[in-house]
Structure 1
Amino acid sequence: MTTATQVDEYQLDALLDALKMDALKNIRRNLNLKNMSSLRKKELVQALTEHIPASVPERTKMMDLQQYTSIVALMTKSGIMPLEQIALEDVFYLSSIGYIHPSKQEDKPVVVMPTQVMKQFFSLDPKDVMADVNRNQKVSNILFGIVRYYGFADLAMVKQLVETYLEEEVEAEWLNNYISYLADYYGMFYAKDGYLIHQTIRELDSFKQVLETRGDLKYYPIPAESMLNLNRYESFEKTEQMAEFNQFLQDTYSLEAAQVNELMEQFLYKVQFGHGLQDVVKWFGEKVELKTEKDFNAIVEQIAKVVNNTRLWVLKGFTPLELAPQLEGSENQAPVKNNKIPRNAPCPCGSGKKYKRCCMK
């Protein structure tokens, strides 16, 4: 890591020379530079000093609004920004292609943009850049929306949805490249075997098998406003029931908002992966203390409300309540009933005992 006092000191060759060979090779791979694997360090530094700035025009055409905003922020601050003021995903990705470098200024961690890279960004036409950036932001939101609401989708469907929401045609090759670009940048989804897949799904076959039982059920049509204005930092669509449960957990168990948000996200992923009511209640019992029958019944009621109003991947984006007539008799996806736990029923904690002889005590 370098220590600098003036912007002029941030020359790309010097910054690259300070890196280890493995880091240089990683930049070469991320920029898809060929026929350089046999270069020695000095030769690789020289080659990267030429190719990194040259890649700016094409890379900029792939950026969405958040990414380009970070670039603009660096440019307006003469290429130096405190590390804490830039998103970590921007730090990881932009440093992986040599556009920014970690450094220190007055013993405080900063990131710096090499002079040669910054000059390339300044040379671009802002109007052309913003046209690409704004379009890319829409496509980015649509892709995040697809995996949020559906979990996964084949790439043909993805292309169709992008074109529908964007109201224009897109080239399949460009879209596939853009998906790969966003997957590398954000890591929220990945493409494999002709599918766009949520990052948490590693075994797709079980999901596909469940969907095969849905017959001719079409995917829930997400409104364009929800899709195009999606906040990608929210893993799930916010609902009134989620907000109520969130407040319930804070008030009942004196939990901090951050703790509750983490619990809610883990809980919702369990629901998406088909965990039943008993499993979820047992899991909550490990996180918060359920002392009485009243505690159990209260949290079961809250869980039931949330699950019944959550858009599920195995229901093609519908909620259990929206498909209630079609789900009768389906144990895994039917609406969850919030009846009180009978005294003689198996305890939700999974002990195998009757409720009255276990957690009800």
Structure 2
Amino acid sequence: MDNKIDQKTQKALLEALARANEHSRQLQDKREQQLWKKINIPVKLSDALNNLSKNELDKIRQNLGLKNLSSLKKGDLTGKLVNLIPVKFKDILYVLDLERYDMVKRMFKNAGPVMANNISVSKVESLMGYGIAFPGVHHNQKILFMPLELLDIFKEIDGKELETIVRRNTEWIKLTHGLLYYYGVMGASTMNNKINQLTGQEVDLLKYFKVLSAASDYYEQIEFSAYGYQDQRVYDAKKILDEQKARPSVDYYSFTKEQLLKAAEMDFIDRTPKLNNFTRFLLEYYDLTDKEIDEMMLQLINMINLDTKPTGMIKYLESRLEFPSFDMVQELTAKLMELYNHTRMWILKGHTPDELFQEEKRYLKPLPAESFRMGQTDSKLFDIRTGAKIGRNDSCPCGSGKKYKKCCGK
């Protein structure tokens, strides 16, 4: 009976997931149709803005900090933006980093358009949201284009000064991304001090905020909250900050500038010796592609930083891999604990549990091996260290002092 219920529930969940995926696909298709409209090149700013919805015009208004325009109807707002975007365009260019500057430069060299097949929708929307460039379809090709008026302004402004500012912005953005990759969350003043130290210059807070705000919208790697700056993977910023504050004697781990610039890249993986050991162990048992390995390592690193119990990580791996034997699971668990104890963690300000273990025994200890359920067909629970069956009323092998059913056996 229970098996039938489980099957019915599973079927219902799969059907719900399929419906959700279909709904998401339909929304994406609708958004694509809205974005990619046929246009003729060259394009005036007024024509580009007339193609936008009122919500899209409002996004430009908000991003450029244009006040007293929120009550205007679409036609009136379009007229105002036609005049105000050129006035603000120098300020817009001064928040760009190298990737967006190069794109603008290519549009200028092409007298307006560049191919947009490999640019994500979110990046297209960000460029449009700042009035930098607009999407369209020309000769059956998706393109991004700059209106004529903005091309003329870029020609006047482009030069050594802008290039210097773009390099500075690029460094600010990459260092911020790298810091948050390892620390998770940082207050504004703490971040400012770190950027000052790393660049050797006093950072203008207002300029820095404007640059990071535009970069957050474009790259979607960091977010702003009441707690300051946070990596987009962070689920509970307050919890991380509370954990960090619980260790006042522990300073932020000191990363080199080069380390932080590497960590700034999207989907960066910190390939530590223990992580490499873990991937080699998996490859001894499974024929996995580089992409599959990277996906699993990214997920495990995220799970560690999101405070997922090792049993949860084992279950995740079980959902991706078929475990051949209990002996293999024992070895897998040991390797996973090594990975856990040597992974840099947000709550530890970029340190690993192993690094802090000796000096901080009363706060933290490397995790012991945890029990593991050998798939759905085997209902026995085992202590990985001894192989003995664990009763639900027995003490939990994780060392918490609680009964198993109240701890890892939930």
TM range (shorter): 0.7 to 0.9
State the shift of 1:127 in Å: 0.4
CA contact (8 A) 2:314 2:372 kept: no
Q: Equivalences for 1:94-113 in 2 at 5 Å?
A: 94-113=127-146
The superposition leaves residues 255-300 of structure 1 with CA deviations (integer Å, 9 ceiling, x where unpaired) of 3332332222121111002222222112211221113123313422
Relative to structure 1, the CA distance from residue 235 to residue 88 in structure 2 (aligned partners, 3 Å threshold; closer, same or farther) is farther
CA contact (8 A) 2:178 2:262 kept: no
Percent of aligned pairs with the same residue? 22
CA contact (8 A) 1:27 1:98 kept: yes
Q: Which amino acid aligns with 2:207?
A: W
- Give the distance between the partners of 2:37 and 2:245, measured in 1 at CA: 56
Residue matched to 1:169: 202
Equivalent position SS for 1:3: coil
State the shift of 1:89 in Å: 4.4
Q: Is residue 2:272 matched to residue 1:239?
A: yes
Relative to structure 1, the CA distance from residue 80 to residue 313 in structure 2 (aligned partners, 3 Å threshold; closer, same or farther) is same
Q: Which amino acid aligns with 1:3?
A: K
- Give the distance between the partners of 2:178 and 2:374, measured in 1 at CA: 34
Which of 258, 262, 279 does residue 225 from structure 1 map onto? 258
Q: Which amino acid aligns with 2:365?
A: A
Q: Is residue 2:115 matched to residue 1:82?
A: yes
Residue matched to 1:284: 317
Most deviating of 321-330 and 212-221: 321-330
- Compute the RMSD of aligned alpha carbons: 2.7
- Give the distance between the partners of 1:194 and 1:46, measured in 2 at CA: 38
Q: Is residue 2:319 matched to residue 1:293?
A: no
- Give the distance between the partners of 1:231 and 1:177, measured in 2 at CA: 19
Residue matched to 2:228: 195
CA contact (8 A) 1:346 1:352 kept: no
- Give the distance between the partners of 2:246 and 2:264, measured in 1 at CA: 31
Residue matched to 2:38: 3
- Give the distance between the partners of 1:286 and 1:94, measured in 2 at CA: 39
Q: Is residue 2:100 matched to residue 1:73?
A: no
Q: Is residue 2:380 matched to residue 1:353?
A: yes
Of structures 1 and 2, the one with the larger relative CO (CA 8 A, separation 6+) is 1
- Give the distance between the partners of 2:56 and 2:102, measured in 1 at CA: 25
- Give the distance between the partners of 2:191 and 2:198, measured in 1 at CA: 11
Which of 366, 370, 374 does residue 335 from structure 1 map onto? 366
Which of 245, 249, 255 does residue 212 from structure 1 map onto? 245
Residue matched to 1:186: 219
Relative to structure 1, the CA distance from residue 71 to residue 238 in structure 2 (aligned partners, 3 Å threshold; closer, same or farther) is farther
State the shift of 1:184 in Å: 2.5
State the shift of 1:311 in Å: 0.9
Residue matched to 2:155: 122
State the shift of 1:349 in Å: 6.1
Relative to structure 1, the CA distance from residue 56 to residue 192 in structure 2 (aligned partners, 3 Å threshold; closer, same or farther) is same
The superposition leaves residues 156-196 of structure 1 with CA deviations (integer Å, 9 ceiling, x where unpaired) of 11111110001011123333333333322322222323522
Q: Which amino acid aligns with 1:65?
A: L
Structure 1 gap ranges (5+): none
Structure 2 gap ranges (5+): 1-35, 390-410
Equivalent position SS for 2:212: helix
Relative to structure 1, the CA distance from residue 313 to residue 3 in structure 2 (aligned partners, 3 Å threshold; closer, same or farther) is same
- Give the distance between the partners of 2:233 and 2:191, measured in 1 at CA: 18
Which of 294, 299, 311 does residue 266 from structure 1 map onto? 299
State the shift of 1:108 in Å: 2.2
Residue matched to 1:13: 46
- Give the distance between the partners of 2:274 and 2:215, measured in 1 at CA: 31
Residue matched to 1:322: 355
CA contact (8 A) 1:70 1:86 kept: no
State the shift of 1:52 in Å: 1.9
State the shift of 1:229 in Å: 5.0
- Give the distance between the partners of 1:20 and 1:124, measured in 2 at CA: 29
CA contact (8 A) 1:179 1:191 kept: no
The superposition leaves residues 277-335 of structure 1 with CA deviations (integer Å, 9 ceiling, x where unpaired) of 222112211221113123313422332332222111111111122223135465xx533
The superposition leaves residues 330-354 of structure 1 with CA deviations (integer Å, 9 ceiling, x where unpaired) of 5xx53345x7x8xxx6637698733
CA contact (8 A) 1:281 1:349 kept: no
- Give the distance between the partners of 1:213 and 1:257, measured in 2 at CA: 38
The superposition leaves residues 97-135 of structure 1 with CA deviations (integer Å, 9 ceiling, x where unpaired) of 232222112222222221112221121132011110111
Most deviating of 349-358 and 33-42: 349-358
State the shift of 1:58 in Å: 0.8
Equivalent position SS for 2:223: strand
Equivalent position SS for 2:353: coil
CA contact (8 A) 1:56 1:117 kept: yes
Residue matched to 2:403: none
CA contact (8 A) 1:190 1:198 kept: yes
Q: How many residues align?
A: 349
- Give the distance between the partners of 1:291 and 1:230, measured in 2 at CA: 35
Q: Which amino acid aligns with 2:265?
A: R
- Give the distance between the partners of 1:101 and 1:148, measured in 2 at CA: 31
Residue matched to 1:63: 96
